[in-house]
Amino acid sequence: MKTDRFHLEVIKIEDILVHEELDPSNSKELINFLKKSKNLSNPIIVASLGNKKYVQLDGMNRIYSFRTLGIKTITAQIVDYNNQEEIELSSWLHIFKGELEKFLTFIKKDPSLVVAQGKMDQVGHRYIKEKDFGRLCSIITNKKEVFFISTAGNFLEKIKRLNYLVSFYKNDLSRGALPYTLNGDTIKKFFKQYPEDNLIVIFPTFTPQQVIESVKSEILLPTGITRHLVKSRVLNINLPLSLYNDNKSLKEQNEEQDKILSKKRSRLYEEATVNFE
């Protein structure tokens, strides 16, 4: 289904190249939900790479869950990755409970990583430096201590070091949206939202070209870092899993999808919303 507002298409999962590491523990609940509901609530988001290949921008857990259930196709919202009016690439931050000294000691075990103490007013939005020495990420404690992790090397080497750093806590992380104004007040709100946690890791923002470079190099970004904000994001399609049937061609699956969706009423919300989850 392609309209002037969105493009939904059933595609083969084998044609999707993922850009981030998977945390299987996050998929257990979704797999159980899919088994019980027998519906796909929201489409994944992909961008076309040409030749019927796609890069996954959002929906890693849905892709993994479908694979686990033996389903070979999935509904995707296809977006133009080069159109900044259609899609914006931002970052999540990671918040978790851990011992600061152990975390810093773990980081220092990699001699290519340099730890330096900083101040809150030095924390802010930044893009990753593709080559040479530069800041990799920032760490903030619930006591407002600030540490900057920097490294040299090329872009792909820096992604590997980010994965190393995240491996310390990836089984215990929460995540939140990176606020546009990073200061003591916004950080305080995050710790209030996650009272059991005491450490925040703030990541740089990547460009679409960097995400694609990572995908093509098969060096994936850590789980839960990139955040894709899509204008006219399609939600609540609630398509039956029976639609994704190996005995049907992609053409037949798309025709069935469009037939179901054409009977539903869609509404575009332009205003920002507050959603309780």
Please give the structure tokens belonging to residue 23: 């945390």
- pLDDT the model gives residue 250: 96
Question: Which residues in the chain land under pLDDT 70?
Answer: 24-25, 180, 270-277
Question: What pLDDT does 86 receive?
Answer: 87
Q: How many CB atoms lie within 10 A of CB 116?
A: 10
Domain count along the chain: 2
Both tokens of residue 171? 């089984």
Please tell me whether residues 111 and 82 are part of one structural domain. Answer: no
Domain CATH code at residue 250: 3.90.1530.10
CATH number of the domain that 113 lies in?
A: 3.30.1760
Where in the sequence is the domain holding 173, given as residue range(s)? 92-205
The predicted pLDDT at position 175 comes to 77
Q: Is residue 269 part of a domain?
A: no
Q: What is the pLDDT of residue 120?
A: 87
pLDDT for the residue numbered 180: 66
In a domain, 210, yes or no: no
**Shared domain check, 197 and 161:** yes
pLDDT at 182: 76
Contact predicate 215/114, CB 8 Å? no
Is 114 in the same domain as 151? yes
Write down the pLDDT at residue 189. Answer: 86
Note whether 43 and 132 are same-domain residues.
no
Distance CA 78, CA 100 (A): 41
Contact 26, 87 (CB under 8 A): no
Residue 270, pLDDT score: 64
Residue 29 lies in a domain: yes
> What CA–CA distance (Å, rounded) separates 105 from 99?
10
Residues 38, 39, 44, 50, CA torsion sign: positive
Position 5 scores a pLDDT of 85
Q: Are residues 166 and 245 in the same domain?
A: no
pLDDT at 272: 63
Write the DSSP assignment of 24-69 as a string of letters: GGGTHHHHHHHHHH-EE-S-EEEEEEETTEEEEEE-HHHHHHHHHT
